[in-house]
A and B are shown apart, each in its own frame.
Chain A
Amino acid sequence: MTTKTVRNVHVRTTINGQEMEFLVPPYMSLLDALREVVGLTGTKEGCNDGNCGACTVDLDGRIVDSCLVLAPEAEGKEVNTIEGMATPQGLHPLQQAFLEEAALQCGICTPGFLVAAKGLLDNEPDPDEHRIRHWLAGNLCRCTGYDKIVRAVEKAAKA
């Protein structure tokens, strides 16, 4: 289908605390809407089929692969992305811990890991190593071997 033959859908949602509205084709993923329509490119595409977690966002308190969510499904919901994680007061403890523990190399998976890890710590402030590894198993990293990522999440939990 070309864009000319499809009527766009109006979506009203809250992204990183900001109410906003946009028009998207009905087939567009939330990932593409964030990146191409809203202009938030911190959320990354790694596979577009829900296997790598690079596009992880928080949707109404749940961690989702935004490539598997249609943008119109965000109607009336709250979306939180990597861009909303730091505040004017500073980095989130997870972001700080990732920097201090060298938990990123190329950095492409980092936004997804941070959003996913925040989803864990928001609900379970003191997870053990196995719980962290289990929670993050939906996010692929090919650079680090996960060691320093797990340590950074442990450190942030203690912060």
Chain B
Amino acid sequence: MVAIYEPTQDLKVVGTRPIRHDGYDKVTGRALYGADVKVPGLIWGEVLRSPHAHARIKSIDTSAADAMPGVFATMTHADLPMAEDKDVDVGEGMVNVRRHAVNVMADDKALYKGHVVAAVAAIDRNTAQEAARRIEVEYEPLPVVNNVDEAMAEDAPLLHPDMHGNHLGQQIGGTNVAGQFRHQLGDPEQGFAESDLIVDRTFTLPMVHQGYIELHNATAFWDEEDRITIWSSTQGAFGVRSQTAGILKIDESNIKVNPVEIGGGFGGKTVVYLPPVAAVLSKKAHRPVKMVMDRTSVFEGSGPAPGGKIRVKIGVSNDGKIKAAEADIRFEAGAFPGSAVSAGALCVLACYDIPHVRIDGRDVLVNKPKSAAYRAPGSPQVAFASEQVVDEICDRMGWDKLQFRLENASKQGTRRADGPTFARVGLVETLEAARASDHWNTPLEKSGDGKLRGRGIASGYWMNGGGKSTCDLSVSDDGIVFMNEGSADIGGTRASIAMQAAEVLGIGAHDVRPSIPDTDSIGFTGVTGGSRTTYATGYAAYQAATELIEKLKSRAAALWGIDPEEVDFSDGVFSSKSDPELKLGFKDLARRLDGTGGPVTSTASVDLAEAGNSFAVHICDLEVDPNTGKTDVIRYTALQDVGKAVHPAYVEGQMQGGAVQGIGWTLNEEYFMTEEGVMANSSFLDYRMPTSLDLPMIDTIMVEVPNPLHPFGVRGVAEVPLAPPLGAVANAVTDATGTRFTDAPINPGKIVAGLAHENGA
């Protein structure tokens, strides 16, 4: 069931920029993140990781570690139960619990460099690290599968010889292709036959990392009643609970996950790595155990975004219409099934209204860490391909790149190739805002010092998520409303959720005090991911606040001795419909509640099947030094249909942050792998994410096309900002250099080589 709303006008709190509720704790160092947790009796856990990308584990000898003073316990996969062979939803994708347990700790094979093979708990971190080094593992190295081509070669070594892949509905054994699917709309062959120009290009991308600054961490205590308490920085405490319960084969209700702050995730902290290990070590040591990954382990042993190979073919007619399109997407899942290829397939051509479409997807196993969600999972990679093909078509036909996108833009009623039709969406409005923008209307000046300048534009798409959320409210005697909600706050959602309740209640943003309690103390709430939180948990807050008002109306009626139907509420004031003398502001009523029937509380939970989709358009100006290949972004504008910006400053922040992640992804970030499957740049220095010095200000233009599914018109805003930049930046490099770069990242080496090729060198 989906209720369709007309957007509420005249909002007083939604759309303002109050200081976020958790702000003071976070600028003073008081905020408690996972690694800051201290509990009595705490000891440290550490893991040993495989130095091989693919190897049979012949034996593990922990005796030297066990014998070390200060060591409490060691652990191998033998200490984990055989988990059920079932899929669970981790919020932004599915994982199979049995395979997840093998990812958490290797069984008979190490499947990527950095795969955990054993663990130890000791009196302090240093002792634990030293003890882990003393665990002896005998490996038999196996041939390494480095990329999708190698994985799909006929005689490819198999990562999981027991696995059957679902290939277009058939169960196929003896393959590294874990899944293969097709979406088709219309008759692509007919559409290409009607086309006057067809552009067909293949693109490759390496894996990249989300790059959150906070290291993965977990603290766990397994008590005498076989109940486990966990503290872990995560996008979803309930996801930590369900995944840990599945891997340890215990009831979810025996696990309590405590709230701690999270230092960035972008999809990468939806999956557990450490909590089950810390829990088992705690059980064996009978002490609480804390674990914190180091940075190299985060790169090598958490979940990067998939790389892969993407072919896009688009046909257009001379009158500027897209007649047909095809996409073939092959994503590196990593060492276990479950890349973002299914989501990528929904995004690859979603910005365009195309009558004939075929999209093929493959989920391909390689000896790299199991990929995880990264901000609009799959969409940035596919936009790198499709937006460059669109750009080339416009270049070859001499068409205006913005006008072409407008004339072919998806709008309400457009059918996505996989089936659904769009409800009210704002791509057209966002493109029109781009056409009216100062950036688009300011010609790019030539560089004075021989550098090559170019401008690129690209669109991007993300579905957004709904799902389950819970919100509880209670009114204090002084009129403050306390809010409990279940969503991990990764970037300001305490504020954006509380503001929606405050709007309904007619009180200020700071008159609602949000808290995020432990998993025992709030109803189930899904992961902070899929751009669902401000929309879905905000929706729960709206409903809880609406219910609270109804209850307060009854209390006002009781005080005044009139019928509850006679009580009106607007602009924060309760009043009698018939007697103008009877009126009370929210806080005045709160002070008089004593004796009217006990504390006033409300609760609401939602399970939203639909969300309302998001589109974004980015414009990038950059200059390339033809001698060094170094690229500097000199102007950047991010435009986006944000539905209704609840806290515009944090919406801008999402747009800016996503744009910059995309700039880094396009120009220099990558998992630089050796032939042996070893990441050669597993430090921040060598991975080289953008710094403040690499960037200009990131201008934002918020376009508000209300989401008809939400009372205030709210759409998810956090993920779609990473969809367009790979196309926008790549297209700008082509505009600057006259060369098309199909392999990411477009780093100085590739640019110098590309320019040399162009000049016939």
Q: Does B27 contact A114, Cβ atoms closer than 8 Å?
A: yes
Q: Given A2-B130, A148-B653, decide whether A108 and B23 contact each other with a Cβ distance below 8 A.
A: no
Per-residue CB contact flags for chain B residues 175-197 toward chain A (1 = under 8 Å, else 0) read 00000000000000000000000
Per-residue CB contact flags for chain B residues 205-221 toward chain A (1 = under 8 Å, else 0) read 00000111111000000
Q: Does A143 contact B491, Cβ atoms closer than 8 Å?
A: yes
CA distance A138 to B693 in the complex (A): 9
Q: Given A52-B684, A99-B20, decide whether A104 and B213 contact each other with a Cβ distance below 8 A.
A: no
Q: Does A49 contact B683, Cβ atoms closer than 8 Å?
A: yes
| Majority secondary structure, A binding face | loop
Q: Does B213 contact A51, Cβ atoms closer than 8 Å?
A: no
**Interface members, chain A 21-48 (any B CB < 8 Å):** 25, 27-28, 32, 35-36, 39-48
Task: Please indicate the chain A residues that have their CB under 8 angstroms from the CB of B130 in the complex.
Answer: 1-2
Task: Please indicate the chain B residues that have their CB under 8 angstroms from the CB of A109 in the complex.
Answer: 213, 263
**Interface members, chain B 211-257 (any A CB < 8 Å):** 211-215
CA distance A65 to B262 in the complex (A): 22
Q: Does A147 contact B656, Cβ atoms closer than 8 Å?
A: yes
**Interface members, chain B 662-711 (any A CB < 8 Å):** 683-685, 689-693, 695, 697-698
CA distance A27 to B125 in the complex (A): 12
**Interface members, chain A 91-126 (any B CB < 8 Å):** 91, 95, 98-102, 104-111, 114
Q: Does B697 contact A147, Cβ atoms closer than 8 Å?
A: yes
Task: Check B487 for interface membership: any CB of A closer than 8 A.
Answer: no
Q: Does B692 contact A52, Cβ atoms closer than 8 Å?
A: no
Q: Does B29 contact A142, Cβ atoms closer than 8 Å?
A: no
Task: Please indicate the chain A residues that have their CB under 8 angstroms from the CB of B462 in the complex.
Answer: none
Q: Does B36 contact A3, Cβ atoms closer than 8 Å?
A: no
Task: Please indicate the chain A residues that have their CB under 8 angstroms from the CB of B661 in the complex.
Answer: 142, 145
Task: Check A81 for interface membership: any CB of B closer than 8 A.
Answer: yes
Q: How many residues of B contact A (CB 8 A)?
A: 67
- Chain B residue at minimum C-beta to C-beta distance from A141: B213
Task: Check B124 for interface membership: any CB of A closer than 8 A.
Answer: yes
The residue that B698 contacts in the complex, of A48, A82, A141, A145, with Cβ under 8 A, is A145
Task: Check A70 for interface membership: any CB of B closer than 8 A.
Answer: no
CA distance A100 to B649 in the complex (A): 9
Q: Given A105-B492, A105-B650, decide whether A42 and B28 contact each other with a Cβ distance below 8 A.
A: yes
Instruction: State the Cβ distance, A98 to closest chain B Cβ, in Å.
Output: 5
The residue that A4 contacts in the complex, of B38, B70, B653, with Cβ under 8 A, is B70
Task: Check B349 for interface membership: any CB of A closer than 8 A.
Answer: no
The residue that B659 contacts in the complex, of A1, A82, A145, with Cβ under 8 A, is A145
**Interface members, chain B 616-670 (any A CB < 8 Å):** 647, 649-650, 652-654, 656-661
Instruction: State the Cβ distance, A123 to closest chain B Cβ, in Å.
Output: 18
Q: Does A146 contact B31, Cβ atoms closer than 8 Å?
A: no
Q: Does B653 contact A142, Cβ atoms closer than 8 Å?
A: no
CA distance A1 to B262 in the complex (A): 32
Q: Given A44-B263, A48-B295, A83-B28, decide whether A146 and B214 contact each other with a Cβ distance below 8 A.
A: no
Task: Check A12 for interface membership: any CB of B closer than 8 A.
Answer: no
Instruction: State the Cβ distance, A24 to closest chain B Cβ, in Å.
Output: 11
Task: Check A134 for interface membership: any CB of B closer than 8 A.
Answer: yes
CA distance A45 to B750 in the complex (A): 34
Q: Does B26 contact A47, Cβ atoms closer than 8 Å?
A: no
Instruction: State the Cβ distance, A73 to closest chain B Cβ, in Å.
Output: 18
Instruction: State the Cβ distance, A92 to closest chain B Cβ, in Å.
Output: 9
- Chain B residue at minimum C-beta to C-beta distance from A6: B126
CA distance A148 to B655 in the complex (A): 12
Task: Please indicate the chain A residues that have their CB under 8 angstroms from the CB of B689 in the complex.
Answer: 140, 142
The residue that B29 contacts in the complex, of A82, A99, A137, A144, with Cβ under 8 A, is A82
Q: Does B214 contact A46, Cβ atoms closer than 8 Å?
A: yes
Q: How many residues of A contact B (CB 8 A)?
A: 65
Q: Does B28 contact A85, Cβ atoms closer than 8 Å?
A: yes
Task: Please indicate the chain A residues that have their CB under 8 angstroms from the CB of B26 in the complex.
Answer: 104, 107, 110
Q: Given A44-B33, A45-B215, A107-B261, decide whether A146 and B27 contact each other with a Cβ distance below 8 A.
A: no
The residue that A3 contacts in the complex, of B123, B660, B698, with Cβ under 8 A, is B123
Per-residue CB contact flags for chain B residues 45-63 toward chain A (1 = under 8 Å, else 0) read 0000000000000000000
- Chain A residue at minimum C-beta to C-beta distance from B131: A2
Q: Does B29 contact A42, Cβ atoms closer than 8 Å?
A: yes
Q: Given A102-B20, A105-B491, decide whether A150 and B697 contact each other with a Cβ distance below 8 A.
A: yes
Q: Which of A1, A36, A101, A102 has the most CB of B within 10 A?
A: A102
Instruction: State the Cβ distance, B405 to closest chain A Cβ, in Å.
Output: 24
Q: Does A102 contact B70, Cβ atoms closer than 8 Å?
A: no
Task: Please indicate the chain B residues that have their CB under 8 angstroms from the CB of A43 in the complex.
Answer: 29
- Chain B residue at minimum C-beta to C-beta distance from A101: B649
Q: Does A110 contact B126, Cβ atoms closer than 8 Å?
A: no
Task: Please indicate the chain A residues that have their CB under 8 angstroms from the CB of B657 in the complex.
Answer: 105, 142-145
CA distance A134 to B70 in the complex (A): 45
CA distance A105 to B717 in the complex (A): 14
Task: Please indicate the chain A residues that have their CB under 8 angstroms from the CB of B30 in the complex.
Answer: 42
The residue that B70 contacts in the complex, of A3, A27, A137, A142, with Cβ under 8 A, is A3
- Chain A residue at minimum C-beta to C-beta distance from B292: A45
- Chain B residue at minimum C-beta to C-beta distance from A134: B693
- Chain A residue at minimum C-beta to C-beta distance from B214: A108
Task: Please indicate the chain B residues that have their CB under 8 angstroms from the CB of A150 in the complex.
Answer: 692, 697
Q: Given A47-B683, A86-B28, decide whether A106 and B491 contact each other with a Cβ distance below 8 A.
A: yes
Task: Please indicate the chain A residues that have their CB under 8 angstroms from the CB of B19 in the complex.
Answer: 99-100
Task: Check B64 for interface membership: any CB of A closer than 8 A.
Answer: no
Task: Check A79 for interface membership: any CB of B closer than 8 A.
Answer: no
- Chain A residue at minimum C-beta to C-beta distance from B688: A51
Task: Check A149 for interface membership: any CB of B closer than 8 A.
Answer: yes
Q: Does A146 contact B653, Cβ atoms closer than 8 Å?
A: no
Instruction: State the Cβ distance, A56 to closest chain B Cβ, in Å.
Output: 12
CA distance A127 to B449 in the complex (A): 26
Q: Which of B127, B211, B690, B691 has the most CB of A within 10 A?
A: B691
Task: Please indicate the chain B residues that have their CB under 8 angstroms from the CB of A81 in the complex.
Answer: 29
Q: Does A3 contact B695, Cβ atoms closer than 8 Å?
A: no
Task: Check A64 for interface membership: any CB of B closer than 8 A.
Answer: no
Task: Check A136 for interface membership: any CB of B closer than 8 A.
Answer: yes
Task: Check A71 for interface membership: any CB of B closer than 8 A.
Answer: no
Task: Check B266 for interface membership: any CB of A closer than 8 A.
Answer: yes
Q: Does A146 contact B660, Cβ atoms closer than 8 Å?
A: yes
Q: Does B215 contact A145, Cβ atoms closer than 8 Å?
A: no
CA distance A134 to B694 in the complex (A): 9
Q: Given A45-B292, A48-B295, decide whether A40 and B29 contact each other with a Cβ distance below 8 A.
A: yes
Q: Does A108 contact B33, Cβ atoms closer than 8 Å?
A: yes
The residue that B212 contacts in the complex, of A49, A142, A148, with Cβ under 8 A, is A142
Task: Check A157 for interface membership: any CB of B closer than 8 A.
Answer: no
Instruction: State the Cβ distance, B436 to closest chain A Cβ, in Å.
Output: 22
Instruction: State the Cβ distance, B288 to closest chain A Cβ, in Å.
Output: 15
Q: Does B262 contact A143, Cβ atoms closer than 8 Å?
A: no
Q: Does B263 contact A107, Cβ atoms closer than 8 Å?
A: yes
CA distance A52 to B212 in the complex (A): 11
Q: Does B29 contact A83, Cβ atoms closer than 8 Å?
A: yes
Q: Given A1-B130, A140-B691, decide whether A99 and B212 contact each other with a Cβ distance below 8 A.
A: no
Task: Check A74 for interface membership: any CB of B closer than 8 A.
Answer: no
Task: Please indicate the chain B residues that have their CB under 8 angstroms from the CB of A106 in the complex.
Answer: 212-214, 261-265, 490-491
**Measuring CB to CB, which residues of chain A are less than 8 angstroms from any residue of chain B?**
1-4, 25, 27-28, 32, 35-36, 39-49, 51-52, 54, 81-83, 85-86, 91, 95, 98-102, 104-111, 114, 129, 132-134, 136-151
Known: A28-B126, A95-B28. 13 other contacts (CB 8 A): A2-B68, A3-B127, A46-B214, A54-B213, A91-B27, A100-B19, A106-B214, A133-B693, A133-B695, A141-B692, A142-B210, A145-B653, A146-B692
**Measuring CB to CB, which residues of chain B are less than 8 angstroms from any residue of chain A?**
17, 19-20, 22-24, 26-33, 35-36, 38, 68-70, 123-127, 130, 210-215, 261-266, 292, 294-295, 490-492, 647, 649-650, 652-654, 656-661, 683-685, 689-693, 695, 697-698
Q: What are the nearest 4 A-B pairs in CB distance? A: A42-B29, A108-B263, A145-B660, A107-B26
Can you list 26 A-B pairs, Cβ within 8 angstroms, ordered by A?
A2-B126, A27-B126, A42-B29, A43-B29, A44-B214, A47-B684, A48-B294, A51-B684, A83-B29, A91-B28, A98-B23, A105-B491, A106-B212, A106-B213, A106-B263, A107-B22, A133-B695, A134-B693, A141-B213, A142-B210, A142-B657, A144-B657, A145-B657, A145-B695, A148-B649, A150-B697
